Amino acid sequence: MLTLKLLRENPEYVIKKLAVKNFDAGETVYRIVDLDRNRRTMQTELDSCLAAQKQKASQIGALMKEGKKAEAEIIKAEVASLKEKSREIEAKSVENNAELESLLVLLPNIPCDMVPEGKGAEDNVVVKTGNEIPELGPDALPHWDLARKLDIIDFDLGVKLTGAGFPVYKGKGARLQRALINMFLDINTAAGYLEVEPPVMVNEASGFGTGQLPDKEGQMYHANLDNYYLVPTAEVPVTNIYRDVILGNDDFPVKMTAYTPCFRREAGSYGKDVRGLNRLHQFDKVEIVRIEKPENSYAALDEMIAHVEGIVNRLGLPYRILRLCGGDMSFTSAITYDFEVYSAAQGRWLEISSVSNFESYQANRLKLRYRDAEGKIQLAHTLNGSSLALPRVVAALLEDCQKDGRIIIPEALRPYTGFDII
C-alpha cells in the first residue's frame, strides 16, 4: 500500500508512475489527498474539543465547592455540548477514514524507474539467455504424451479424483517431484535461507498483508465456513511471519525459504497453453523471501536473480530472463524479473519463476518495520522469488531431456532421484 505521505507530497508523481502500469490513478489519488486533509483537520478539531472538555470539566467541582451552582450548571451544559460535538466529529471521521482506506487499497504499487513501458507480455524485455536449445528428433513427444507413455503422471485420474488441473504423480514421476523439491530447498538453505514449513491456509489478514486481497479473490480458493484461503504461493504465509513486527537494525537480512503446494483457480484459462503441466490448479513450488533495509533491497534483488539462475543452470535447461513491462507486472510489485525455460517439444517458453522487489508496498500493509541506527521507525522492503515452481520445470525436463523415448535425468538431480533414466 502506498504511504499517505507520498500521496500527500507527490500526487502528480504517483499518477505519472502508475500510468506506466496502465493504471489511471488521477481521480483516486486526488480524492485520497482530500480525504487525508479532512482526516487531519478533523483529528485536530477532535483533539481541541476533547482538551476543552477536560479543561471545563475540571472547573465544575471547584465551582460547586464555592457554592457557585449556577455557574457550574452553565459549564456542565458547555461540556455536554462539547461531548455532542466530539461524537459528531468522530462519526464523520469514521466515515471519512473508511473511504480513505477503501481507496488506498485500490492503488497498485509504483513501478521503479527500470520498468519499461508496455501493455503486455509482448513488451517485456529479454535481459539474458542461457544454455542451448536442444534439437529433438522427429519422434519427440510433448510432456503430456511422454508422461502417459512412461506412466509417471496421470491427468485423467486427477480429473476423476478432483477435476482438471489436479494431476496424480506416480512412481518415478512422484519421485522426480520430491527430488526437485529437496534439491531446491538444499540449494536455498546452503545460500543462507532459513527453511520454514508454513500452513497452506491463511486468514484474511495474511491475504491482505501481501496484496492478494482484495485484488485476487477470484483466483484464490476460499474455505467459506472458516474464512480461510488456500495459499496461491508460499510468499503469503512466509512474508506474514513478520506482520506487525518491528525488527532491529542488526536483524537484517531476513532470508527464508519454504516448500508448499499452491492453489490457484486460474479462471478463464483454456486452450493449448494449459495442456498437461502448463497450467494447474494445484502445483508444488519452492519460494524464497527476503526482508531488507531499503538501501539494500536492490542489491538483494540482484542476488536473488543470480541465485535462481544458478539453480536453472544446474538443471541445464535453456532459459531466458525478462524484465517485465509495466502492463505485465503484478499489482504489488515495483519490479519483476521472470525466468522462462524452453519447452522443446512444444516450441515455446514457459515461465518457471518470478523474482520481485515490492519495496515498502507490502511492508506498509503488513506494518513490517524496523528501528534504524538512529532509533527511528522505518518501513522495511520485501522481496520474493520462485526457486522454483515445479510443473513447468518438469514439463521442460521431460521434453528437453528425452532421448529414444526415455528421459535422461540431469546429473545434478541424480543424487536426489536415485535414478538416471525414466
* Confidence check: pLDDT of 248 > 80: yes
How would residue 300 be classed by pLDDT, with cut points 50, 70 and 90?
very high
Query: The cell 506498509 sits on which residue?
Result: 364
Say if CB 204 and CB 266 are below 8 A apart.
Answer: no
Average pLDDT of 316-328? 98
Say if CB 383 and CB 304 are below 8 A apart.
Answer: yes
The single-letter code of the amino acid at 44 is T
Q: Where in the chain is the domain with CATH 1.10.287.40?
A: 4-104
Where in 97-176 does DSSP place strands (E)? 125-130, 153-154, 168-169
Architecture of domain 121-417: 2-Layer Sandwich (3.30)
Q: Are strands 381-389 and 348-359 parallel, antiparallel or unpaired?
A: antiparallel
pLDDT, greater one: 230 or 138? 230
Considering the chain, what percentage of its residues have pLDDT values greater than 90? 90
pLDDT tens-digit readout, 1-50: 999 999 999 999 999 999 999 999 999 999 999 999 999 999 999 999 99
Average pLDDT of 386-404? 97
What is the per-residue pLDDT for 60?
85
Q: Within a 13 Å sphere around the CA of 87, how many CA atoms are in the beta-carbon half? A: 6
Average pLDDT of 152-179? 97
What gap in Å lies between CA 15 and CA 24, rounded to an integer? 7
pLDDT tens-digit readout, 174-195: 999 999 999 999 999 999 999 9
Average pLDDT of 262-268? 81
pLDDT tens-digit readout, 341-378: 999 999 999 999 999 999 999 999 999 999 999 999 99
pLDDT tens-digit readout, 40-90: 999 999 999 999 998 888 888 778 778 888 888 888 898 899 999 999 999
H/E stretch holding 230 reads strand 228-230
Average pLDDT of 99-108? 96
* Confidence check: pLDDT of 170 > 90: yes
What is the per-residue pLDDT for 270?
55
Distance of CA 411 to the CA centre of its chain: 33
What gap in Å lies between CA 126 and CA 83, rounded to an integer? 63
Say if CB 252 and CB 363 are below 8 A apart.
Answer: no
Considering the chain, what percentage of its residues have pLDDT values greater than 70? 98
What gap in Å lies between CA 417 and CA 180, rounded to an integer? 8
Q: Are strands 194-195 and 254-263 parallel, antiparallel or unpaired?
A: parallel
Q: Which fold has domain 4-104?
A: Helix Hairpins (1.10.287)
What is the per-residue pLDDT for 370?
98
pLDDT tens-digit readout, 216-247: 778 999 999 999 999 999 999 999 999 999 99
What gap in Å lies between CA 73 and CA 60, rounded to an integer? 8
> Does residue 263 sit in helix, strand or coil?
strand
Q: What is the mean pLDDT of the chain?
A: 95
Cell of 97: 477514514
For residue 307, which of 203, 240, 386, 398 has the smallest C-alpha distance?
Answer: 386
How would residue 301 be classed by pLDDT, with cut points 50, 70 and 90?
very high
Residues with Cβ < 8 Å from 379, sequence gap 6 or more? 3, 294, 360, 363, 364, 368, 369
Q: Where in the chain is the domain with CATH 3.30.930.10?
A: 121-417
What is the per-residue pLDDT for 271?
57
Q: Which residues of 13-47 are buried (b: 16+ CB within 10 A; e: fewer)?
A: ebbebbebbebebeebbeebbebbebbeebeebbe
* Confidence check: pLDDT of 309 > 60: yes
Question: Is the C-alpha dihedral spanning 411, 412, 415, 416 positive or negative?
Answer: negative
Residues with Cβ < 8 Å from 87, sequence gap 6 or more? none
